[in-house]
Amino acid sequence: MPFSSLGLSPSLLRAVGAKAYLTPTPIQLAAIPAALQGRDVLGSAQTGSGKTVAFALPLLQQLENAPLESLRRVRALILVPTRELCTQVGEEIRSLAAHLPRSLKVSIVFGGVSINPQMMRLRGGTDIVVATPGRLLDLVHHNALVLGSVTTLVLDEADRLFDMGFSEELGRILSLLPEKRQNLFFSATFPPAVQALAQTLLRDPVRIEVLPTPQTQPAIAQRAIAVDASRRTQLLRHLIQQNHWSRVLVFVATKHAAEMVADKLRKARIYAEPFHGELSQGKRTQVLADFKASRLKVVIATDVAARGLDIAQLPVVVNFDLPRSAVDYTHRIGRTGRAGESGVALSFVSADTEAHFRLIEKRQGLNLPLEQMEGFEPLQTAVPAAMSTDGIPFDASTGGIKGKRPSKKDKLRAAAARGQ
């Protein structure tokens, strides 16, 4: 079914044609007609499925048909969890809006940079705001934004907004919005916190769940390699050199690990940079630009890079540290195998993380043999792991997954598991 069957205006059909979007993805096919009718939407689809276009086209059509006197008053508000996703979504909307007969102003605002230039750009008003929650509230506090005219609220990567601790900010933002508005919630997963918010805010929503099919499932070859924790960096270096990977995105658990692994690779003459939340926004932007342009070979990242980043033709993702959850595993490996391309996802599994890997495997419906690389055969053997009450394994020495500081509850559970 073509885009022309969805009820889009001629200008927006020209926009999707200019972007070479030939046919709607399943989430677009289901969500666009419902949103054009003014319905609230609760949409769930895998990463890389085209969710941005699914909400961007309907809200642009609504603004295209809005009265002239409503211009430069914030009509659409899109909340996202990270700065990089904020930029990515905003630029996508700008490129689609460029084909409209009426000029619309799209403002992209996020923290980590000076607020003053953003306040200057908001003078004279704006039509669409794409924002991270904290910076949006800062701008409201400085009277640079008024949200009383919002007619459409979009939560993109809604589950991640809650994971990153934005629930309090979300509540404050919602109190500033008109009660009568359209709500569009999109995410790859809907944990209980998001479901509870949806039940509170959405009015008779159209519920859309697009499950992966053999046709839409990304072509990602998933592998697991057994290796001692102390030799992971050596193995990573070996694999990069042996396979002549042009680019590789490596996920670690902490900022310290990102800095340390990148430094060791640079000493081995492999051009690598860390990427984490404590870098300046300028540095983060530069690292991503260099990586996308293939000027940078390896990026060592925390989970700040696991959502929303669209890096074309990225061949390899490596889980240097295993993710905390099976959901994060999905988002991490989803950085490769995008837009019909194939990719490889490797996970390093050490003795103290094997039980956790098996849990991820079970929840993902996988059955991956633990490979061994010649010269890197593990010397340590796995020990039985105690389980926390939420089903996440931990070993007695750390009380949690490697790279994660154990909480007081984790320590108490570990003690109980040891019979203390």
CATH 3.40.50.12280 fits domain 3-210: no
The string of pLDDT tens digits covering residues 92-141 is 999 999 999 989 999 999 998 899 999 999 999 999 999 999 999 999 99
pLDDT at 304: 82
The string of pLDDT tens digits covering residues 55-100 is 999 999 999 988 777 778 999 999 998 888 899 899 999 999 999 9
The string of pLDDT tens digits covering residues 1-28 is 889 999 999 999 999 999 988 899 999 9
The phi, psi pair for 287, rounded to 5°, reads -60, -45
pLDDT at 241: 94
Residue spans of the chain under pLDDT 50 = 214-215, 385, 387-405, 407-410, 412-413, 416-420
pLDDT at 4: 92
Domain covering 219-382: architecture:
3-Layer(aba) Sandwich (3.40)
pLDDT at 165: 74
Q: Let me know: does 393 contact 387? Beta carbons within 8 Å.
A: yes
pLDDT at 47: 67
How far is residue 6's CA from residue 374's CA, in Å, rounded to a whole number?
55
The kind and range of the H/E element at 128 are strand 128-131
219-382 and 3-210 share a CATH fold = yes
pLDDT at 213: 55
Q: Percent of the chain, pLDDT > 70?
A: 86
Q: Counting Cβ atoms within 10 Å, is residue 376 exposed (0-12), middle (13-18) or buried (19+)?
A: middle
pLDDT at 75: 95
How far is residue 126's CA from residue 77's CA, in Å, rounded to a whole number?
11
Nearest to 222, CA basis, from 334, 344, 338: 344
How far is residue 241's CA from residue 213's CA, in Å, rounded to a whole number?
34
How far is residue 110's CA from residue 132's CA, in Å, rounded to a whole number?
5
Q: Where are the domains of the chain?
A: 3-210, 219-382
